[in-house]
Amino acid sequence: MMTMTTSPQVSVVMAVYNGEQTLADTLESILTQQGVDFECIVVNDGSTDLSRDILQHYSEKDTRLRVIEQDNQGLTRSLIRGCAEARGEFIARQDAGDVSLPGRIQKQSNFLHSHADFCMVSCGTRMVGLQGEELQIVQQTEEDAEQGLHRLALAEICGPSHHGSVMFRRNLYNRVGGYRFQFAVAQDLDLWIRLAEHGRHWAVQEVLYQAALTPGSISMVNRDQQLVSAQFIIEAARLRRAGKSEQQILDNAVAFSAREANTRKQGNVANGYYFLGCCLLRRDPVAARSYFQSARQADPLHFKAWFRLLQTWFSA
């Protein structure tokens, strides 16, 4: 049995909701990390599948895994809960369904330990589709890492490669107020901007994180909601940096989230399939075809999917 020290250097924080199909792979990718003392905190956000049993199985074998059970409250409140339980000097994010590649935790923690002026570090991310096929590699330039979160325009702002690719200092996380419940989505951008107001961000070019994109994921289904929330976040940052109150913006964000609750639409899932297909279109039109077909089935009036589907027959 693997045991945990009383003062781990890193706390890996993740939330899971009905993730039984990929949860074991995610846990294995964390618990097999070497070269650093860490704990892994998983908030089981009211899962109704076998996620709880999987977590119990792993926690019995490895005391570094700490499981928190709660009724379903959504990602943001789950992360608030998990980070509040963190004991490490650094907090590393991990999303259920994704994989941290070997050496990720050690390399990021070593960087923060030796660079006191940096508040967070991210890494390159490999995006994969439903069959594990590579969709794209996302990496940040040094300039984007340094300046991207200081640009207060929606078309120019640039954050880390993925929410789960980031590690940050726990004391600064607490000082800036951590994740904020007002943002049901884009909570990562809100946190990153506030962290960057107090320190620097470094992006390791090496790909150390693998993110699985699914048509029903938050980033796919709630794309429009994310864009509106990002506008709220940018306006809040503008007011905060001008020494003004951001409370009205936060109240507006809460009201907006309430209106958007439970409005997942079939067409949004179709957009997710469409996006996955577009990522593959040039490199593998045959693989892209299956995604466009799924988009068409999810939304028969998705005319862009119809057009791209025809395009795959001429490209193959």
The verdict on residue 102 lying in a domain is: yes
The verdict on residue 225 lying in a domain is: no
Q: Which helix (H) or strand (E) holds 113?
A: helix 104-114
**What mean pLDDT value characterizes the chain?**
93
| Residues 206, 60 share a domain | yes
Question: How confident is the model at residue 219, as a pLDDT?
Answer: 63
| Residues 122, 41 share a domain | yes
| Residues 305, 205 share a domain | no
> How many Cβ atoms from other residues are within 10 Å of residue 196's Cβ?
21
Distance, C-alpha 98 to centroid of its chain? 9
Q: What is the DSSP secondary structure assignment for residue 174, as one 8-state letter?
A: H
| Residues 171, 308 share a domain | no
Residue indicated by tokens 């057009």: 307
How far from 212 is each of 89, 101, 153, 226, 279, CA to CA, in Å? 28, 13, 28, 19, 13
Let me know how long the chain is.
316
φ, ψ at 81 (rounded to 5°): -65, -45
The verdict on residue 245 lying in a domain is: no
| Residues 167, 311 share a domain | no
| Residues 211, 95 share a domain | yes
Question: How confident is the model at residue 218, as a pLDDT?
Answer: 55
CATH assignment at residue 59 = 3.90.550.10
The verdict on residue 67 lying in a domain is: yes
Residue indicated by tokens 């994310």: 226
The gap between the terminal CA atoms of the chain, to the nearest Å, is 51
Mind listing the pLDDT tens digit for each residue in 9-45?
Answer: 999 999 999 999 999 999 999 999 999 999 999 999 9
Q: Sign of torsion, CA 267 270 274 276?
A: positive
Query: Whole domain around residue 306: which residue ranges?
Result: 266-315
Distance, in Å, from the CA atom of 66 to the CA atom of 68, rounded to the nearest integer, reads 7
| Residues 211, 270 share a domain | no
Distance, in Å, from the CA atom of 205 to the CA atom of 142, rounded to the nearest integer, reads 9
Which of 155, 188, 220 delimits the end of a domain?
220
| Residues 104, 203 share a domain | yes
The more confidently predicted of residues 265 and 101 is 101
Least confident of 67-76, 88-97, 209-218, 257-266: 257-266
Which of 186, 220, 254 delimits the end of a domain?
220
**Residue 69 pairs with which residues in a beta bridge?**
44
| Residues 303, 160 share a domain | no
Q: Please tell me whether residue 289 adopts helix, strand or coil conformation.
A: helix
Mind listing the pLDDT tens digit for each residue in 229-254?
Answer: 999 999 999 999 999 999 999 999 99
The verdict on residue 233 lying in a domain is: no
Which of 164, 191, 220 delimits the end of a domain?
220
pLDDT at 170 exceeding the cut of 60: yes
| Residues 274, 144 share a domain | no
How far from 281 is each of 131, 188, 196, 201, 316, CA to CA, in Å? 15, 29, 36, 33, 10
> How many Cβ atoms from other residues are within 10 Å of residue 207's Cβ?
17
Contact criterion met (CB below 8 Å) for 9 and 37: yes
The verdict on residue 291 lying in a domain is: yes
Q: Sign of torsion, CA 156 211 18 173?
A: negative
The verdict on residue 112 lying in a domain is: yes
C-alpha torsion angle, residues 127, 128, 133, 139 (rounded to 10): 10
The verdict on residue 80 lying in a domain is: yes
Contact criterion met (CB below 8 Å) for 122 and 169: no
Residue 122 tokens read as 């991210």
| Residues 275, 169 share a domain | no
Number of domains in the chain: 2
Burial 153-188 (b: 16+ CB within 10 A, else e): eeeebebbbbbbbbbbbbebbeebebbbbbbbbbbb
Mind listing the pLDDT tens digit for each residue in 207-235?
Answer: 999 999 988 775 666 778 899 999 999 99
| Residues 283, 162 share a domain | no
C-alpha torsion angle, residues 89, 94, 100, 105 (rounded to 10): 0
